[in-house]
Structure 1
Amino acid sequence: MLQDCKAFSSFSTDDIAKTRQFYEGVLGLKATEGMGGMVLDFEMNGSVPFIIYQKPDHRPADFTVFNFLVDDIEEAVASLKNKGVVFESYDNGNIKTDEDNIFRGEGPLVAWFKDPSGNILSLVQE
């Protein structure tokens, strides 16, 4: 039944204007208005659109809501740090980031950061 449907994901923010400035101005993504919020459309590169909507009682998720696949995580982290992005540091059992805020354990390399509403995003290098 649903196998032929297009799908998308969404999450909330407490300030759509500040969030749009971050995603467009800092991350360099194109955002449009639609579907009751802000649409980040990645269809041209094979991904699906993402909807971010304003919610008065927004509470950020305590898990990663958005992952960006990058070719060179060290370069991507450095570039975003130069734009003022603060990366998370973790040291809790299986997840430990290094001095560059990159997880280098089993699996892909990962670096986590938050958007202005506290939603957790990540850079992933396979």
Structure 2
Amino acid sequence: MLKEQHTVLPASDLQRARGYYHDKLELDPNEEHEGVLIYRQNEGSGFELYETENAGTAQNTQMGWMTDDLRSEMQRMRDHGVVFEEYDFPEMKTVDGIVTMPDGSMAAWFRDSEGNFLCVSQRAPGMGG
């Protein structure tokens, strides 16, 4: 039976990544092993960073968080120096870093110090979660 899930992200410089997650996202690892930092935010939820030269090569969203107030969360993150991506594609256009879906849900993307694409999302009004 599958139980907990967690995301695994690459980092070419683990100490630089640790600094980014601490300084920009106010997250610190719960565990540290040779070449690996493990972050646990909630029961059953977490991620790890591992050192590899392949970091920054993926061009897709690699991890995301949900929030109840995307705009406030983005402002807090911007206050810590996070820069959000801007997109202008026929199927997806950001306004101040935010894509609003037809159902009212919203999302914003940024890259960490290692080039990983990360997302913060807010469910549409009335959607449980």
Query: TM-score over 0.5 for the alignment?
Result: yes
**Does structure 2 conserve the Cα–Cα contact (< 8 Å) formed by 1:60 and 1:117?**
no
| Partner residue, 1:18 | 16
Where do 4+ consecutive residues of structure 1 move more than 4 Å? Answer: none
> Which of 85, 91, 107 is residue 88 of structure 1 equivalent to?
85
| Partner residue, 1:103 | 99
**Superposition TM-score, scaled by structure 2 size:** 0.83
Letter in 1 for 2:39: L
Flag structure 2 segments of 5+ consecutive residues without an equivalent: 124-129
Q: Partners of 2:34 and 2:88 in 1: how far apart? A: 38
Say what the alpha-carbon RMSD is for the aligned residues.
Answer: 1.8
| Partner residue, 2:46 | 49
- Equivalent pairs, count: 121
**Superposition TM-score, scaled by structure 1 size:** 0.85
Q: Secondary structure at the match of 2:37?
A: strand
Q: Secondary structure at the match of 1:51?
A: strand
Aligned CA distance change for structure 1 residues 118 and 37 (closer, same or farther; 3 Å): same
Q: Secondary structure at the match of 2:99?
A: coil
Q: Partners of 1:48 and 1:6 in 2: how far apart? A: 7
- Sequence identity (%): 27
Deviation string, structure 1 residues 64-94 (Cα, Å, up to 9, x no partner): 1111111111111111111111100011121
Q: Give, in angstroms, the shift of residue 36 of structure 1.
A: 4.3
Q: Give, in angstroms, the shift of residue 6 of structure 1.
A: 3.9
> Which of 103, 115, 118 is residue 118 of structure 1 equivalent to?
115
In terms of fraction of residues, the more strand-rich structure is 2
Q: Secondary structure at the match of 2:20?
A: helix
Aligned CA distance change for structure 1 residues 6 and 75 (closer, same or farther; 3 Å): closer
**Does structure 1 conserve the Cα–Cα contact (< 8 Å) formed by 2:6 and 2:46?**
yes
Deviation string, structure 1 residues 26-55 (Cα, Å, up to 9, x no partner): 10112131374111112xx24422111010
